Amino acid sequence: MGYREFLNTIDKSIDKIREFIDKGKNFNVFCHIDADGLSSGAITSVMLLRANTRFITRSVRNIEEIIEAIPNLPPDSIIILTDIGSGYLNILREKFREKSLIILDHHQPDGEVEEGWIHINPHLYNIDGAREISSSGVAYLVAKALSEENVTLSPIAVVGALGDLQDKSSEKRELDGLNKMIVEDAVKAGLIKVSDDLLFYGRSYRPLHLALASTTSPYIPTISGSEAHAVSFLNSLKIKLKEDDRWRVFAELDEEEKKTIYNGLMKYLSSINFPPSIVKELVGKVYELTKEEDWTPLKDAREFSSLLNACGKTGNEWIGIAVAMGSRGELLLQAQKILEEYRKKLSEIMEYLVKRDTWQELKYIIAIDVGTAIDDRMVSSASSILSSSELLPEDKPLIMLATRDDKVKVSARASRKLVAKGLNLGFVMKKAAERTGGVGGGHDVAAGAEIPLGKKTMFLAEADSIVGEFLKS
C-alpha cells in the first residue's frame, strides 16, 4: 500500500533538508525517551553529524517539554521532532507557525501541518505506523535518502521497531512491512543476521536458568524474575545446566531440548492456572547485530532495545543515545549496569502487578491505578509486558495510571483481537483526555495520555464508555 508514494515524499523532502544543511542552519532535535525515541534521535544525530551540521539533540518525556523549549531556541534554527509530534499538530501550529519544523513520527496524526513544514508519517500514506514502521524506521529512510552511507544505521532502525513491539503483529514474532525492507538493508550490508529461535533473553551468553529468569517478553508468571524457580523448573525437565564446568546457553541446545522446554512451560503454566498460550510469544525471529561483541546486550536487537529503554526511563537518555550512535567502552558498561538495575526493578513491579490486587474491572476496560508506587516512566514498559503476555482478558483493553506531581500518566494497551474488532486506543486516549483537561493519543494497539490529578475517575469512566462505543458497534 502507498510505499512508493511514501518513499517519494521522503525523497522530495530531502531537497529541502539538504538546502537547510547547505545554508549552514543550526538543528535542534527532540526525541521521545523510549527505545524507539532514543533510536530515532540517534539516527537523526548521526545523519546530521555526517552532514557536518551543528545540532543539539535532547530527549523529552512529553509534548509540553517541547512547547516550553522551542521559544528559547535561536530564532532561525531548524527543529526536528522524532517519535513525538504528529499527535499534536494543531498545538504546534498554533504556537510555532513562524518556525521551521520537521516531524519524523509514526503516531496517528491529528491536525494539519503548517505550510513549509516537513511531516513524514506512514499513516498519511495508509501505512500502519503501529506495525509496519517505527519512528526510527522513518528517521532511517530519511537519513538513507540524504546519503547512502547511512545504511549503516539500519540496525538501529530495527532496534527501534522492536522497542515499540512492532514484531508482535505477526503470528510468529517477526518484523513486517517497511520494517522488513529495513531488515533487508541491514542483512545486505552484513550488519544483521536473522534466524528462527526461542526468544530467551541472553540466549547466546546467559546460563540457561538466568536466561529463563531474565525473560520478561513474554512474562512467565513465577519464573520471570526468579532464578531459583528457573533452576528448579529446568531440573524438573532434566535439562543439563552445565557441560563439565561450563554453563550452557540456549543457543547451544538441540531441537529436542528446546521442545522439552517449550512444552514443559506450557504444562507448567496451565498447572498454575495461567494460559499456556503465553509461550507462543517465545517463538520468532532473532535479529543479531553481527558487528557487536557476543557478550553484550547489543548483539541481540531486542536486548539492545531494552538497554535503550532502561536508559530512557531512568534519566540516562544521553547514555542511550550515545550508545545507539556508536559509543562503546565505558559508556556501554554504564548502560549495561543501568539495564541490570532497571530489569530488577521492573521484575519487582511485575511481581506486584500479576497479583492482580490493584486491578479494577470496569464494563469494557481493565484499569490499574498504581498511584505513586511505580515511576510513571516505567508504566508503559509494565503495561506492554502485561498486555503482550496474555495475562489480561483478551476482550478488554488495559488502562494503567501512575501519578507524578499533579499529573497522571496513562498507558493503554489492547489485544490484536480488540483492534481487529475496530478498537482504536489512540482515539480513545485522545477523546477521554480532551474531555478531562489533558492530552492523549498514539496507536490503535498502544496509546497514552496525561491528565490532571483530580480527573482520574472521570477519565476512566470516559475511557470505558468510548471503548464501549467502539465495541458495541
Residue 444 near Mn ion by CB under 5 A: no
Q: Closest separation between CB of residue 471 and Mn ion, Å?
A: 26
Contacts 24+ apart (CB under 8 A), 181-189: 182/133, 182/137, 182/140, 182/141, 182/154, 182/157, 182/158, 183/154, 183/158, 183/287, 185/144, 185/151, 185/154, 186/154, 186/155, 186/157, 186/158, 189/151, 189/152, 189/154
Q: Closest separation between CB of residue 240 and Mn ion, Å?
A: 41
Residue 83 near Mn ion by CB under 5 A: yes
- The smaller minimum CB distance to Mn ion, of residues 29 and 230, is found at 29
Of the listed pieces 79-87, 279-287, 352-360, 447-455, which binds Mn ion according to CB under 5 A?
A: 79-87
- The smaller minimum CB distance to Mn ion, of residues 135 and 224, is found at 135
Count of other CB atoms within 10 angstroms of residue 231 = 17
Residue 464 near Mn ion by CB under 5 A: no
Of the listed pieces 53-61, 128-136, 209-217, 335-343, which binds Mn ion according to CB under 5 A?
A: 128-136
Contact string 372-391 vs Mn ion (x = CB under 5 A): --------------------
- The smaller minimum CB distance to Mn ion, of residues 206 and 443, is found at 443
- Which residue is nearest to Mn ion, using beta carbons? 36
Of the listed pieces 34-42, 279-287, 334-342, 348-356, which binds Mn ion according to CB under 5 A?
A: 34-42
- The smaller minimum CB distance to Mn ion, of residues 45 and 134, is found at 134
- The smaller minimum CB distance to Mn ion, of residues 87 and 225, is found at 87
- Tell me how many residues contact Mn ion (CB under 5 A): 5
Q: Closest separation between CB of residue 369 and Mn ion, Å?
A: 25
- The smaller minimum CB distance to Mn ion, of residues 122 and 397, is found at 122
Q: Closest separation between CB of residue 311 and Mn ion, Å?
A: 16
Q: Closest separation between CB of residue 107 and Mn ion, Å?
A: 7
Q: Closest separation between CB of residue 36 and Mn ion, Å?
A: 3
- The smaller minimum CB distance to Mn ion, of residues 81 and 212, is found at 81
Of the listed pieces 33-41, 51-59, 203-211, 439-447, which binds Mn ion according to CB under 5 A?
A: 33-41
Question: Which residue type sits at 64?
Answer: E
- Lookup: cell for 347: 521484575
Q: Count of alpha carbons within 13 Å of 69, Cβ hemisphere only?
A: 19
Q: Closest separation between CB of residue 51 and Mn ion, Å?
A: 24
Residue 152 near Mn ion by CB under 5 A: no
Residue 167 near Mn ion by CB under 5 A: no
- The smaller minimum CB distance to Mn ion, of residues 36 and 167, is found at 36
Single residue of 132, 164, 288, 303 touching Mn ion by CB under 5 A: 164
Subset of residues 233 to 292 that bind Mn ion, contact rule: CB under 5 A = none
Q: Closest separation between CB of residue 40 and Mn ion, Å?
A: 7
Q: Which residues contact 45 (CB under 8 A, 6 or more apart)?
A: 29, 55, 57, 321, 325
Residue 135 near Mn ion by CB under 5 A: yes
- The smaller minimum CB distance to Mn ion, of residues 65 and 340, is found at 65
Residue 36 near Mn ion by CB under 5 A: yes
Q: Closest separation between CB of residue 29 and Mn ion, Å?
A: 15
Residues engaged in binding Mn ion (CB under 5 A): 36, 83, 134-135, 164
